């Protein structure tokens, strides 16, 4: 009997030891889980994540090479201009590569959208691509500052409906073209005194009545239309 009591006492003393061994405390479990999660976290490279791709901007140094290569990929040769007075379509000459490429590039970039026909000279021309809106100036900054060389020896004349590019008025003895603007000849049969000084790069093939409508709008003393004439969209016909 005494031996049985001793055995029971030993059995009771051993139960807490088993409980402690088989059930680790809560703090140790939590610590273990945190360590596992930490091991699973992938550190981000702060240099690569903060790096941003540099934005391409056209300059005097890269514009010619860029448009030379851009022209090689071009299949489109027509642009539809939609204004708040109606729309017309321009066909671009393929052998005036820099001016054609420039016009299509700007149209695809959305530059012309919501610019204006800011100069209207009765029975002579309408000129578009500019605006007094700050958004237009911002677009120009984002695309770049550059000029295009004249290309006047391809045999094109300034007939009625011809689309040509004005020259820049700033420090420009070589009559380099202002790439953001264009003008359309309205004169019948043409304004041939412009030949040799400006570069024709296309012609209106549809909607010349809209061009005439724009040319007939009232203007102020500076040839700026009394009411704004917006280019709502310039769309490349692919």
Q: What is the CATH number of the domain that holds 215?
A: 2.40.100.10
**Residue 56 resides in a domain:** no
Residue 58 lies in a domain: no
Rounded CA-CA distance 49/221 in Å is 55
Q: Is the pTM of this model over 0.75?
A: yes
Q: What is the pLDDT of residues 107-157, one digit of tens each?
A: 999 999 999 999 999 999 999 999 989 999 999 999 999 999 999 999 999
Q: What is the pLDDT of residues 218-233, one digit of tens each?
A: 999 889 999 999 999 9
List of residues 6+ apart from 164 with CB closer than 8 A: 158, 182, 183, 184, 185, 194, 198, 199, 200, 201
Whether 85 is covered by a domain: the verdict is yes
Give the model's pLDDT for residue 127. Answer: 97
Could you report the per-residue pLDDT of 75-114, keeping only the tens digit for each? 999 999 999 999 999 999 999 999 999 999 999 999 999 9
Question: Over pLDDT 90: what percentage of the chain?
Answer: 69
Structure tokens, 107: 């149209």
Which three-class secondary structure state does DSSP give residue 25? coil
Answer whether residue 49 is part of any domain.
no
The structural domain count of the chain equals 1
- Per-residue b or e along 51-85, where b marks 16 or more CB atoms closer than 10 Å to that residue's CB: eeeeeeebeeeebeebbeebbeebeeebbbbbbeb
Name the residue range of residue 160's domain.
76-237
- Scan for tokens 């204006």, then name that residue: 116
The residue whose two tokens read 């004005």 is: 166
Q: Domain for residue 45, yes or no?
A: no
Please report whether residue 63 resides in a domain: no
In angstroms, the CA 194 to CA 199 distance is 9
88 within a domain of the structure (yes/no): yes
Residue 199 lies in a domain: yes
């Amino acid at each position: 009997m005494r031996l049985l009591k001793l055995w029971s006492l030993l059995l009771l003393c051993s139960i807490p030891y088993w409980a402690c061994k088989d059930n680790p405390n809560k703090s140790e479990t939590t610590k273990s889980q945190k360590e596992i999660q930490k091991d699973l976290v992938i550190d981000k490279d702060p240099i690569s994540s903060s790096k941003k791709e540099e934005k391409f901007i056209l300059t005097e140094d890269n514009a010619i090479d860029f448009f030379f290569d851009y022209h090689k990929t071009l299949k489109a040769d027509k642009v539809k201009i939609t204004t708040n007075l109606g729309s017309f379509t321009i066909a671009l000459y393929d052998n005036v590569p820099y001016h054609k490429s420039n016009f299509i590039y700007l149209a695809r970039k959305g530059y012309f959208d919501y610019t204006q026909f800011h100069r209207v000279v009765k029975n002579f021309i309408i000129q578009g691509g500019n605006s007094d809106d700050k958004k237009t100036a911002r677009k120009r900054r984002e695309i770049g500052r550059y000029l295009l060389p004249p290309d006047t020896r391809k045999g094109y004349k300034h007939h009625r409906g011809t689309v040509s590019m004005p020259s820049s008025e700033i420090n420009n003895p070589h009559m380099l073209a202002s790439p953001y603007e264009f003008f359309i000849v309205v004169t019948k049969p043409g304004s041939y005194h412009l030949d040799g000084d400006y570069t024709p790069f296309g012609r209106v093939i549809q909607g010349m009545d809209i061009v005439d409508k724009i040319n007939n709008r009232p203007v102020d003393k500076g040839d700026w239309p009394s009411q704004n004439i917006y280019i709502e969209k310039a769309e490349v016909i692919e």
